[in-house]
Structure 1
Amino acid sequence: MKHQLFIVAFYWPPAGGPGVQRWLKFVKYLPKDQFDITVIIPENPDYASTDNSLMDEIPKEVRIIKVPLNEPSRWIKKLFKGKTNKLQRGFIDKKPSLLERALLWIRGTTSFQMLVFPGLKM
């Protein structure tokens, strides 16, 4: 009898970076004869970097469910017209601007996430 495993992940191929590698390798090397794996990912993510070659590493047995996501970074980028690109890619000045400090606070604040996503339990 196989175990059902559900993984909810934001970072999943074609996203690039270390966060993707963790979940991808975890799923890739689980014993397929013991687990039915379903990965739930955003339908329209806004990734800072992408690596399409990682798509080839997803095991064919893994079921992918895409759900809509209205993430704050998308509308913040539109609002500030490209002034957040450096921050999104992980580069932070020694003296970040007021905007960059506010965005860092928003990104790391659970209370803001609960306000935007009221059903989210952390």
Structure 2
Amino acid sequence: MKRVLIITYYWPPSGGSGVQRWLKFAKYLPQLGWEPVIYTPLNPEPNAIDEALCREIPEGMTVLKRKIFEPYSLYKFLSGKKRGETIEANIISKESGGSASARLFAFIRGNFFIPDPRCFWIRPSARFLKRYLRKNPVDAIISTGPPHSMHLIAARLSRAAKIKWIADFRDPWTKIFYFKHLPLTNFAKKRHGKLEKEVL
């Protein structure tokens, strides 16, 4: 059986539409001759929780989890949100016209967290997965975004190991509706565009 590495931020107990597609695909891929290996954060900040989805993960499926530095956790602390309270993925852009602190968060989000706040997971994930793949090779890689940092992890692996790669865009990158609300510098706009072209 061939093996495929699926890099996804959203995985049960995360809920919402972002988790559904690859949870279902991973469930039925073995019937088509592909064994899925899931790579996902240990401590994500999803915008929904659905514990029931955990029961849909097939027994024995390999799920690799690594800790992630999650800026949204800091945002929740500074904005007074409760521990365990979920937040919308585009909440910072929504608040970009609000208070001074909200505008500051929006500026940092758009100009320092490129392509998104999960960018700090790219380098350590690529290092970890390169080591993992040396001992546990796969025949293909699939990354699903947003967050589009997942694609940048896959790009590094694909280039380094010459593995076929599919980038699944569940939503656009620079064309997503809230992108225009982020107060981006010209440098940030060009950087987002350059990375998007590299993935596409």
Aligned twin of 1:19: 18
Question: Paired residue for 2:180?
Answer: none
| Counterpart-to-counterpart distance in 2, 1:58 and 1:7 | 14
Aligned pairs (5 A) from 1:34-45: 34-45=33-44
CA root-mean-square deviation: 3.4
What residue is the counterpart of 1:55 in the other structure? Answer: 54
Residues 11 and 20 in structure 1, CA contact (< 8 A), matched pair in contact too = yes
SS in 2 for 1:6: strand
Mark the CA change 1:87 to 1:20 in structure 2 (over 3 Å): closer, same or farther: closer
User: Are the counterparts in 2 of residues 6 and 37 from structure 1 also a CA contact under 8 Å?
Assistant: yes
Alpha-carbon contact 2:13-2:54 (below 8 Å) kept? yes
In structure 2, C-alpha distance between the alignment counterparts of 1:35 and 1:10, rounded to whole Å = 21
Deviation (angstroms), 1:47? 2.2
Of 17-26 and 57-66, deviating more is 57-66
What secondary structure is seen at the aligned counterpart in 2 of 1:110? coil
Gaps of 5+ in 1: none
Whichever structure has more helix as a proportion of its residues is 2
Per-residue deviation, 1:75? 1.3
| 2:24 aligned partner, one-letter code | K
TM-score (norm 2): 0.48
Distance in 1 (alpha carbons) for counterparts of 2:40 and 2:3: 17
Where does the alignment leave 5 or more consecutive residues of structure 2 unmatched? 127-148, 153-200
What number of residue pairs does the alignment pair up? Answer: 119
CA distance in 1: counterparts of 2:21 and 2:105, whole angstroms: 25
CA contact (8 A) 2:68 2:121 kept: no
Q: Distance in 2 between matches of 1:38 and 1:118?
A: 18
In structure 1, distance between residues paired with 2:103 and 2:28: 39
CA deviation profile, 1:12-55 (whole Å, cap 9, x unmatched): 11111000101111111213461221101111122232111111
2:114 to 99, 110, 114: 110
CA contact (8 A) 1:87 1:100 kept: no
1:13 alignment partner, SS class: coil
What is the letter of the counterpart of residue 69 of structure 1? I
Between stretches 71-80 and 96-105, larger displacement belongs to 96-105
Contact 2:4 2:34 in 1 (8 A): yes
